[in-house]
Structure 1
């Protein structure tokens, strides 16, 4: 009897290639890590690619993906994943009713089912997200809200509700797959895979789809260099006077221009960046709160706790317990 966990990834014409390949790479690298640790082949993943007729499909970026078999020929699936696409609403999916029907049946047979990006719309159409919390790519949130029985989480990178996983798509499909690896084989293996993939951060489910750093890059060209400098110097005081000096502006003019361009005061911006760094350290390092406070530029553990609760709605220790399962 084959004890491997079969990961079945469904794709179709027009699917987003990274929604398919990204999670597949995570499970493949997990196999490598498990093998390196001496686990038997039966303790690993079996990865298969499914398409409606078991044929080659043209997906995004001009790639052609070849399926292992037709979805109706697959048996004993442990984890079923359905990718999304980046098409406009008018041409959203080229997904047949037979595939939707098969997905609906499989949802009651598999250990878990997940979708990447606007693949959530497929699950919603067949009723699998009714009464569940779910997310999707920010571009398609309004389309998911059309389904009144779905509790839409607009911000999270991925969401797990029971045995159903949804994610924001593209790179977030990697985060979803890493969460599944962690669920199966522990956080150590998942972090090893993240390291092999040269990820800056293994994001957990409560991470937002857009980081403060990325949003700041989109919002202002004037302060790009300053924002990068802030990220690299969080241990410094970073008061308005020091930031204004770095930007070669008067403190008053700097505060006014920064708030106008970035939509937030300099002090609040720095706090958000520091809290994001705290989250990263809590998730990846076994450091004391005192050490984390020092690294992130907080004057004390109490100042860290207040800022963390203000931004995350919980204390650092509660956050660490949450991500540790």
Structure 2
């Protein structure tokens, strides 16, 4: 029997949130094993308009039947949808009867409104994470994770993160080979760890001044060097005193903090996605001393490198 995937939609949903996970399940079905059958659902059924204007035919939730996995998508209409009592009742019912319940992006708000996420660690799009934490204090929001798996509940960040989550679900069901082949067919990364950062540190520290924007890129390419204020000031063509003051005003942090954040991002990528020894990663990212890198990880991520590597679920 095919595994039934229920895809919960509502007016002004994000089309790609729905299309990405649907395509992943469709492609995985073509590679053998137990196939998936995806059914778009909505409160009353019929045609549901996405935020882009495209329409999808849906089945009413009252006729949903038995669902193996429920996926709630995000979109501009999530605030109206999360206030719908009928959808909340449906989600709570599926949380009791379905094997898994999942969300993409702001679809997590519908799960939270129904109480399904109380006491669980979850994620959503980074721009909405603080709003979720404030609105639902019983929910433990991991603002920077791509996707989070807490028991039978899976939550993911934006559009591409929904595909990452779907590939993880497929791998759990059908094995690594089918997951890998599905990713290859979709031309996406097979294993992007759920805890990997949603956005680049370079984007976070974006500067409106071209000289500092270029300098941040230069730092990212020279992390092994000794990057003192004097070295960076010379690279920027400024005096050290003027450089420090101008950098802080433009980037929003001190030069030393910016260098550490860029080193941390590069180190975390290697910790999660490679088998390199921690000592080697410390050297190649400019920390040089593994203990110094460990302390930086604890300050920024509240975990040492070894724990982050374990949580990435990489099999060597």
Q: 1:104 aligns with which of 69, 73, 92?
A: 92
* Superposed displacement of residue 143, structure 1: 5.2
- Correspondence 1:15 to 2:13: yes
What secondary structure is seen at the aligned counterpart in 2 of 1:107? helix
What secondary structure is seen at the aligned counterpart in 2 of 1:231? helix
In structure 2, how many angstroms separate the alpha carbons of the residues matched to 1:26 and 1:252? Answer: 53
* Number of the residue aligned with 2:121: 133
Which aligned pairs between 1:42-53 and structure 2 lie closer than 5 A? Answer: 42-53=33-44
What secondary structure is seen at the aligned counterpart in 2 of 1:12? coil
* Number of the residue aligned with 2:111: 123
- Correspondence 1:114 to 2:102: yes
* Superposed displacement of residue 115, structure 1: 1.6
Q: 1:72 aligns with which of 62, 70, 83?
A: 62
* Number of the residue aligned with 2:52: 61
Matched residues, number: 313
Q: 1:18 to 1:256 in 2, by over 3 A?
A: same
Q: 1:217 to 1:61 in 2, by over 3 A?
A: farther
What secondary structure is seen at the aligned counterpart in 2 of 1:136? coil
Which aligned pairs between 1:181-192 and structure 2 lie closer than 5 A? Answer: 181-185=170-174
In structure 2, how many angstroms separate the alpha carbons of the residues matched to 1:44 and 1:277? Answer: 38
TM-score (norm: length of structure 2): 0.82
* Superposed displacement of residue 282, structure 1: 2.3
What secondary structure is seen at the aligned counterpart in 2 of 1:14? coil
Q: Report if the CA contact (8 A) 2:78-2:106 is conserved.
A: no
What secondary structure is seen at the aligned counterpart in 1 of 2:101? strand
TM-score (norm: length of structure 1): 0.80
- Correspondence 1:150 to 2:139: yes
- Correspondence 1:236 to 2:234: no
Q: CA RMSD in A?
A: 3.2
* Number of the residue aligned with 1:38: none
In structure 2, how many angstroms separate the alpha carbons of the residues matched to 1:320 and 1:255? Answer: 35
Q: Report if the CA contact (8 A) 1:277-1:296 is conserved.
A: yes
Cα offsets for 1:70-112 (capped at 9, x unmatched): 33333442210111222595xx338754333222212111111
Which aligned pairs between 1:168-183 and structure 2 lie closer than 5 A? Answer: 168-183=157-172
What secondary structure is seen at the aligned counterpart in 2 of 1:321? helix
Cα offsets for 1:225-276 (capped at 9, x unmatched): 2222333333333333332222222233222221222222222212212222
Which aligned pairs between 1:143-292 and structure 2 lie closer than 5 A? Answer: 145-185=134-174, 203-217=192-206, 221-292=210-281
